[in-house]
């Protein structure tokens, strides 16, 4: 499996991985087989491309014959594109801690990898089995990504809210946004599909732009997810508040690649046990509820 640390050359590392086939087993294939284009000089390919192509085919056949991917005893790699307070550099965010704890409760080992600017790639990698799953996604992704299986126990419920500096009003529905100038990030489908008749709408690339507009008074409302918004407001020292009630609330789930289908009930049961014994709430309060204070 890939290392969790990713530097500036992450995309190049991913491209290297796409050439790599590793097989170590004494069953179905003889001996240990290792093939990696990154470790072979160009002259080798020039001299005997057919031989190496044959070796590639053998390696791929062996991996497929064994079902591919990690066994239950291996460390599973789940991916996400969300940042603080869900993930942090010191691995003390909500997802950092919860994913490790849930899988540990299930008798497994898992780690989280963060792709802050390539969230679509994480889904593609998980669906292809390059990574073992996705850490936090909405229900229904299995329709678009058939190789992913949703762990049926909800990981968390996300609130989508409007942040304001001077507006004080209730937001019981999307219609309540109509008198205001609002902004949200490009690609957030929940806002794109529901914000239709606001006074004015500005779409931005990232959260820095979103809260910059709010801080400068160029928009009345910044639409975002509750906990990430609270973290952003705190980091910026911005005097802003979330309007209530939330515009929408959506359950979020763990997804595993179908090669780990047998693990899905174990993970769901482990998450349910953590909710029942209080360990889930302790992580939630330490990483998320603390932001309210």
Tell me how far apart the alpha carbons of residues 293 and 275 are, in angstroms, rounded to a whole number. Answer: 23
Which alpha helices (DSSP H) does 136-206 contain, by range?
141-144, 189-192
Q: Which residues pair with 163 in a beta bridge?
A: 222, 242
Tell me how far apart the alpha carbons of residues 254 and 41 are, in angstroms, rounded to a whole number. Answer: 41
How many of the other CB atoms lie within 10 Å of CB of 293? 4
pLDDT per residue over 149-201, tens digit each? Answer: 999 999 999 999 999 999 999 999 999 999 999 999 987 889 999 999 999 99
- Domain 75-156+252-292 carries which CATH code? 3.40.190.10
Task: Return the sign of the alpha-carbon dihedral for residues 101, 134, 93, 3.
Answer: positive
pLDDT per residue over 77-113, tens digit each? Answer: 999 989 999 999 999 999 999 999 999 999 999 999 9
Least trusted range by pLDDT, from 45-54, 101-110, 198-207: 45-54
Per DSSP, the three-state class of 198 is coil
- The pTM for the full model equals 0.71
Which one of 3.30.420.40, 3.40.190.10, 3.40.50.300, 3.60.9.10 gives the CATH number of domain 157-249? 3.40.190.10
Q: How far is CA 93 from the centre of its chain?
A: 13
Rounded to the nearest integer, the mean pLDDT of the chain is 81
Omega of the bond prior to 200 within 30 degrees of 0, cis? Answer: no
Here the tokens at position 112 are 């989280």
184: Cβ contacts below 8 Å, ≥ 6 apart:
191, 192, 195, 201, 203, 204, 210, 222, 223, 224
Least trusted range by pLDDT, from 14-18, 52-56, 204-208, 249-253: 14-18
List where CATH 3.40.190.10 sits in the chain.
75-156+252-292, 157-249
The DSSP secondary-structure symbol of 168 reads: -
Cβ atoms of 122 and 81 closer than 8 Å: yes
Q: How many helices (H) and strands (E) does the chain have?
A: 12, 12
26: Cβ contacts below 8 Å, ≥ 6 apart:
none
If one compares 76 and 121, the residue with the highest pLDDT of the two is: 76
How many of the other CB atoms lie within 10 Å of CB of 12? 10
């Amino acid at each position: 499996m890939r290392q969790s640390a990713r530097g500036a050359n992450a995309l190049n590392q991913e491209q290297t991985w796409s050439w790599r086939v590793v097989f170590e087993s004494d069953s179905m294939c003889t001996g240990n087989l290792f093939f990696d284009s990154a470790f072979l000089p160009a002259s080798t390919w020039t001299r005997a491309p057919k031989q190496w192509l044959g070796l590639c085919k053998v390696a791929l056949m062996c991996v497929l014959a064994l079902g591919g991917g990690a066994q239950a005893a291996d460390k599973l790699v789940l991916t996400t594109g969300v940042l603080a307070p869900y993930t942090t550099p010191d691995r003390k965010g909500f997802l950092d801690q919860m994913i490790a704890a849930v899988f540990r409760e299930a008798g497994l080992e898992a780690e989280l990898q963060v792709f802050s600017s390539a969230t679509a790639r994480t889904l593609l990698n998980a669906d292809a089995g390059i990574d073992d799953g996705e850490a936090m996604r909405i229900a229904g992704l299995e329709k678009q990504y058939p190789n992913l299986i949703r762990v049926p126990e909800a990981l968390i419920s996300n609130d989508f809210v409007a942040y304001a500096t001077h507006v004080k009003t209730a937001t019981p529905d999307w219609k309540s946004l109509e008198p205001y100038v609002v902004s949200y990030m490009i690609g957030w489908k929940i806002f794109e599909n529901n914000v239709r008749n606001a006074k004015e709408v500005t779409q931005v690339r990232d959260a820095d732009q979103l809260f910059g507009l709010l801080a400068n008074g160029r928009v009345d409302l910044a639409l975002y997810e509750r906990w990430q918004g609270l973290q952003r407001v705190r980091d910026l020292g911005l005097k802003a508040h979330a309007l209530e009630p939330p515009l929408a609330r959506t359950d979020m789930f763990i997804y595993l690649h179908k090669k780990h289908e047998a693990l899905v009930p174990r993970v769901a049961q482990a998450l349910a046990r953590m909710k029942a014994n209080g360990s889930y709430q302790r992580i939630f309060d330490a990483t998320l509820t603390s932001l309210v204070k």
